[in-house]
Amino acid sequence: MAKGDPKKPKGKMSAYAFFVQTCREEHKKNPEVPVNFAEFSKKCSERWKTMSGKEKSKFDEMAKADKVCYDREMKDYGPAKGGKKEEDPNAPKRPPSGFFLFCSEFHPKIKSTNPGISIGDVAKKLGEMWNNLNDSEKQPYITKAAKLKEKYEKDAADYKSKGKFDGAKGPAKVAWKKVEEEDEEEEEEEKKEEEEDE
């Protein structure tokens, strides 16, 4: 099963996986023989390699049928509620941490002194440099990050109060609420008209 969403269809199985499953079922019929997983896997692999195409075709058919079933299930499957929300481009951006502020300052210096260095090596070097700093050397970055976080929280609160920040108050929900209010107004007008006609 997929992590996080128990309703997501299981992955499709290969012909070899069906073969191993069949071998396992055969082995279960003889429970007194102990199973060494590594040995069992090796024997399955050797047996699979020596099988003819005709013998393998049964498992190929099983795999094809499983793929058809999987594809059908995936077509019907919709991502779980709470999946990735659409981001509002006008929403305030999360502030960087002290470490990322440090990285943005020293990244160009590392690249200029080590031309051709890989991204991974730059990141490793930045991590080592950060870890070698003492608390007082890290403090300016941490303080700046805290100020940026404070500003972000204020901006986010302002943005939320306008009803545009949260999935519960996203633009689609606001628009839907407006439609419902218009429907209610129309119903009230119709009632008034009916009362006047009587």
Q: What is the pLDDT of residue 158?
A: 86
Q: CATH number of the domain at 15-77, please?
A: 1.10.30.10
* Lowest-confidence pick of 10-24, 27-41, 80-94, 106-120: 80-94
Tens digits of residue pLDDT in 55-66:
888 888 888 888
Q: Which amino acid is at 110?
A: I
Give ranges for CATH 1.10.30.10 in the chain.
Answer: 15-77, 93-163
Q: What is the pLDDT of residue 161?
A: 83
| pLDDT (average), residues 139-161 | 89
Report the CATH fold assignment for 93-163.
DNA Binding (I), subunit A (1.10.30)
* Confidence at 166, pLDDT banded by 50, 70, 90: very low
pTM comes to 0.41
* pLDDT surpassing 60 at residue 70: yes
Q: What is the pLDDT of residue 183?
A: 54
